[in-house]
Amino acid sequence: MIQKPKGTRDILPQESYKWQCIENKVKDLFQNYGFKEIRVPVFENTELFQRGVGETTDVVQKEMYTFNDKGGRSITLRPEGTAGVVRAYIENGMASMPSPVKLWYNMAMYRYENVQKGRLREFHQIGAEVIGTNSYMSDVETILMANRIFEILNIPNINLEINSIGCPECRKKYQEALKEYIRPNLEEYCETCKTRFEKNPLRILDCKEKRCKELNSGAPIILDYLCEECKTHFENVKNMLNKLNIKYQVEPGIVRGLDYYTKTVFEFVSKDEGYTVLAGGRYDGLIEELDGQSTPAIGFAMGVERLVEIYEKYNPNTIPEKDMDLYIAYIGDEANILATKLVEDLRKENIYVEKDVTGKSLKAQFKYANKQNAKYCITIGEEEVKSNKVKIKKMDTGEEKEISLEIENIISSIK
Ligand code: ATP
Ligand code: MG
């Protein structure tokens, strides 16, 4: 038997309706904030992620699905959404649209991860990007929208953690201080961190190795090194969140896993599961890094698998897709044709109606209707074809009523 690749999942009907429910609610929410959907390719030129996400990140160093296509191009399955969205923004001249440009997406992502709880190799992210403003107000609105997602999905026990990682200017000073802190113990850090030390010491703070985490515990914090502008920006964000009564915690340890972040970064962490469900931040340098005009932006992405897992816990009674309104059982060739016409006409009226297409016996048809929880059942035989009259049966009570076979009669009997 061929099995699915490690780190992938099948989303079966008994789960997919929950996904749809979440997706529909989030989509409506985004719309009310003025966001429009964007869809970008599953694969991109590898260079996009090398430059966008950053050479020294875990994603680029260890996790990308990269291969040469038959034309010899280096191709990578997208590990995250922002780089592709920004590429599309630049390539399609979206800078000329009214600013800010507000986009959302719901896409599968691919990362060669150590598979464990909440960590897959194919997973899904719903994300949002606001491109074109450096105002703290857009940080606040983005955080408000993210916060709202958990409210509308009835998910409690989520902590909002925020931090500022400054701009390249403040980071220069900070990196020196950080290196000074790390240098005496550098030999004790993991091999990856050793290579990060010169190239990108900030990345060391995001290392998942236990020993590195311990060594990092007394490291200087970037908040103490912010330049005036970054400091004011962060103060403004916090003040406004306070005024709006949004609870948050400043978490100086958050540096995020992707290199493009600047200034405000944030994570929504599930207290129950202990993992981050939604993460994001400002990325004021990315558009220029990808050869666009220097344009500030902010965004977030949330892991849909993680979101569904928590959603299920707090919403055990999500309504499944609608039950079958009507089953039309038949016996004989003419009845088969009449039943087929009827179900087609009823479906045009948006009725969920089925008839047998497998050649089942009448008894087996009834059994199927029962198993599928059909609300009503009509049986058509030779007699009924001639008289154009049928009995319609309410399945839960067994109550029967005779009607003539016009669409309007059927519809009014099942309402
Ligand atoms: P970490 O440091 O935990 O690896 P990250 O920096 O790689 O996180 P992002 O790329 O910002 O995380 O991803 C945002 C969200 O997407 C995560 O908070 C999580 O909900 C989800 N996510 C990321 N990677 C995976 C994965 N491999 N499997 C399932 N969900 C994921
Ligand atoms: Mg990761």
Residue 216 lies in a domain: no
Let me know whether 153 and 233 are in one domain: yes
Choose the final residue of a domain: 314, 346, 372.
Answer: 314
Tell me, yes or no, whether 34 and 121 share the same domain. yes
Domain boundary among 314, 334, 365: 314
Answer yes or no: do 307 and 409 share one domain.
no
Question: In this structure, are 48 and 123 located in the same domain?
Answer: yes
CATH of the domain at 23: 3.30.930.10
Cβ-Cβ contacts under 8 Å for 126 (sequence gap 6 or more): 23, 26, 104, 105, 106, 301, 302, 304, 307
Query: Rounded to the nearest whole angstrom, what is the distance from the C-alpha of residue 164 to the centroid of ligand 1?
Result: 19
Per-residue pLDDT of the chain (415 residues; tens, 9 = 90+): 999 999 999 999 989 999 999 999 999 999 999 999 999 999 999 999 999 999 888 899 999 999 999 999 999 999 999 999 999 999 999 999 999 999 999 999 999 999 999 999 999 999 999 999 999 999 999 999 999 999 999 999 999 999 999 999 998 899 999 999 999 999 999 998 999 899 889 989 988 899 999 999 999 999 999 999 999 999 999 999 999 999 999 999 898 878 889 999 999 999 999 999 999 999 999 999 999 999 999 999 999 999 999 999 999 887 776 889 999 999 999 999 999 999 999 999 999 999 999 999 999 999 999 999 999 999 999 999 999 999 999 999 999 999 999 999 999 999 8
Range of the domain at 305: 13-167+227-314
Name the closest-CA residue to atom 11, ligand 1.
279
361 found inside a domain:
yes
Residues 306 and 334 placed together within one structural domain of the fold: no
Q: Residue 365: which CATH number? A: 3.40.50.800
Q: Does one domain contain both 159 and 246?
A: yes
Task: Pick the ligand that lies closest to the CA of residue 256.
Answer: 1
What is the model's pLDDT at position 259?
Answer: 83
Q: Is residue 298 domain-shared with residue 330, that is, in the same domain? A: no
User: What is the reported pLDDT for 32?
Assistant: 98
- Tally the residues of the chain: 415
Q: Which ligand is nearest to the CA of 265?
A: 1
Domain match, 360 and 386 both: yes
Pocket test of ligand 1: the residue of 119, 150, 202 to mutate, having most ligand atoms within 8 Å of its CB, is 119
At residue 350, the pLDDT reads: 95
- pLDDT (0 to 100) of residue 208: 86
Q: Is residue 30 part of a domain?
A: yes
In this structure, are 147 and 73 located in the same domain? yes
Which pLDDT score, from 0 to 100, does residue 374 have?
Answer: 96
Between CA 107 and CA 23 the distance in angstroms is 11
Residue nearest to atom 12 of ligand 1 (CA): 257
Split into its structural domains, the chain has a count of 2
- The pLDDT, as a whole number, for residue 193 is 92
Tell me if 78 CB under 6 Å of ligand 1: no
- The answer to whether residue 18 sits within a structural domain is yes
Quote the ligand 1 centre to 303 CA distance (angstroms): 6
Do you find a cis peptide bond into 100, omega within 30 degrees of 0? yes
Question: Quick one: pLDDT at residue 241?
Answer: 98
Note whether residue 5 is domain-resident.
no
Q: Does residue 21 sit within a domain?
A: yes
User: Ligand 1 centre from 278 Cα, in Å?
Assistant: 8
Query: Bridge partners of 163?
Result: 265
For ligand 1, is residue 124 a contact (CB within 6 Å)?
Answer: no
| In-domain check, residue 79 | yes
Give the C-alpha separation, 131 to 104, whole Å. Answer: 11
Residue 24: predicted pLDDT = 96
User: Do residue 110 and residue 140 come from a single domain?
Assistant: yes
Whose Cα sits closest to atom 23 in ligand 1? 303
Q: State pTM to two decimals.
A: 0.93
Is residue 275 one of the residues assigned to a domain? yes
Which listed ligand is nearest to 79 at the C-alpha?
1
237 and 352 belong to one structural domain: no
Question: Do 285 and 391 share a structural domain?
Answer: no
**pLDDT for res 163:** 97
Q: Which of 265, 291, 314 is the last residue of a domain?
A: 314
C-alpha 269 – ligand 1 centre gap (Å): 11
User: Cα–Cα distances in Å, from 63 out to 33, 66, 292?
Assistant: 33, 9, 26
